[in-house]
Amino acid sequence: MPAIAERWIVTDDGLSYIFRLRDGTWPDGTPIDAPSVAAALRRARAALAGTALGLDLAPIDEIRVMTDRVVEVDLSAPLPDLLTLLAQPELGLPRTRLGSGPLGLRREGLVASLSPIPPEKRGMPAQDGFSRSVRPLHVEVESMAIAAKRFNDGLVDVALGGTIDLLPLAGTTMLSRGNVQLDPVMGLFGLQVLRAQGFLADPLRREALALAIDRDGLVGAFGIGGWSGTTRLVSPEVPDSDGSVGERWSDSTLDQRRALARQRVLAWMAAGEGAPRLRVAAPDGPGSRLALARIGADFASIGVQIERVDEGQPADLRLVDTVARYTRAAWFLNQLACPVSPAGCSAAGDALAAQARTERDPQARMALLAQAERAVTAANGFIPIARPLRWSLVRSGVTGFSPIHGVGTRFRRLPSYQSSRIFDEIAPLRAIFRIWSWRGKEQGAKGQALRDGISGFAW
């Protein structure tokens, strides 16, 4: 349910968030009140047990009804990103299985028509002139290859949500390099251990794979300036880093690292085991193929072979490419916690992360998070390669485009396109879309499609 709180305050110690609810009704007509909101929030939180987002929300101690229109969320320790977490889709507080978003949906094949719903039909106060200030959206699912071609042909002005898997498409269309905008996101890009068995049962043999990767060579193969490799789990740019954890093996050359890794592979084979052959689950796009070709060559240099399998098929490793929901060390650690990613996880790291969640002193909390990162890193259940890469195609002259550090790209209101209020803030999507708006009579009988914004949005 959107905009359910009309205002809120945070106590000075950061341990309580007090929300005052607006007047209104749920989509089924039931009045919005504190008991129903608190119950919906408790249900949503309980459904996230055992997930990374559930761990993110672990500092929530209690959800209390204070008055008929006031809900208080009490924390065991400060959680600066609570509002960001409450805005995640999983915490959308559905009511009687009815959607409550601002748009109505009608599907016709691969085209979705989205029409703004008047606020009074969503339990909000009526707005004068609402029908004159909005217009429907038509969303057509298409591949990034088509989106990039349409951009190159001048049919669309913006394509959002590009990933490493799709990055080579930007080059093959011979687009001006100035049109490719990198989004400064944080997150995880690397190999996750799915089966800690056989060769991957031992943390030191898993480390051998991490030692063998030529991160600079892999990143350089994509030819994108500003993208760099990393051996760290947690981005050094998170605000709760104490600076005590650095890159691994900084005093060793690549040849030295590979020599050590090769010794561990030979020791495995000397014990009567065959040459390691690992299955890697990954998309079959051009970017993933290029990345796996580089990784395969790196692993082959120490005597390990890999083969790509489709995602969902039995695999030993998985190529992970995910953007952080919020920019704190806890997000990274929770992604790799034992309840979420049991193969090659660190129980000691989980215990330190849990201790950090309840620690109220900021310096002590940062020290615990650094210890947790070291423990999880030593388990080698995840092999970092680089920070995630997200990119957009933006034509010169487009206004309103703004990369948002850490979590991707969004559009602010675009006055030059006379965009409606539903475009006030759009975050990037993982699917690729062509989006247009029809002005109907304003554009005559042809109903000319506007180039409002266009391809590749995602939450």
pLDDT per position as a tens digit, 408-421: 444 433 333 223 32
Question: What one-character-per-residue DSSP string does 13-33 give?
Answer: TS-EEEEEEPS-B-TTSPBP-
> Are 253 and 285 in contact, with CB atoms under 8 Å apart?
no
* Average pLDDT for 368-373: 97
Task: Average the pLDDT over each of 207-221, 258-272, 332-346, 427-441 and give the range with the smallest value.
Answer: 427-441
Question: What one-character-per-residue DSSP string does 130-189 give?
Answer: HHHH---EEEEE--HHHHHHHHHTTS-SEEEEE-TTTHHHHHHTT--GGGEEEE-B-EEE
| Mean pLDDT, all residues of the chain | 82
Asked if the model's pLDDT at residue 254 lies above 70, the reply is yes
Question: 294: which residues sit within 8 A by CB, 6+ positions away?
Answer: 214, 217, 218, 221
Using the structure block, give the residue that is written with the tokens 């055992």: 50
Q: What is the pLDDT of residue 196?
A: 96
Q: What is the pLDDT of residues 59-95, one digit of tens each?
A: 999 999 999 999 999 999 999 999 999 988 888 877 6
Quote helix, strand, coil % in the chain, to nearest 5.
35, 25, 45
CA neighbor of 157 nearest in space, from 165, 169, 166, 148: 148
Asked if the model's pLDDT at residue 141 lies above 70, the reply is no
CA neighbor of 291 nearest in space, from 198, 206, 227, 248: 227
Q: What is the pLDDT of residue 415?
A: 33
**pTM (2 d.p.):** 0.81
> Are 432 and 456 in contact, with CB atoms under 8 Å apart?
yes
Higher-confidence position of 370 and 97: 370
Q: What is the pLDDT of residues 14-56, one digit of tens each?
A: 999 999 998 877 777 788 899 999 999 999 999 999 999 999 9
Q: What is the pLDDT of residue 99?
A: 60
Predicted confidence band at 217 (pLDDT cuts at 50, 70, 90)?
A: very high
CA neighbor of 16 nearest in space, from 58, 48, 50, 61: 61
Predicted confidence band at 388 (pLDDT cuts at 50, 70, 90)?
A: very high
Q: What is the pLDDT of residue 144?
A: 67
Q: What is the pLDDT of residue 448?
A: 28
Residue 329, both tokens: 């060390």
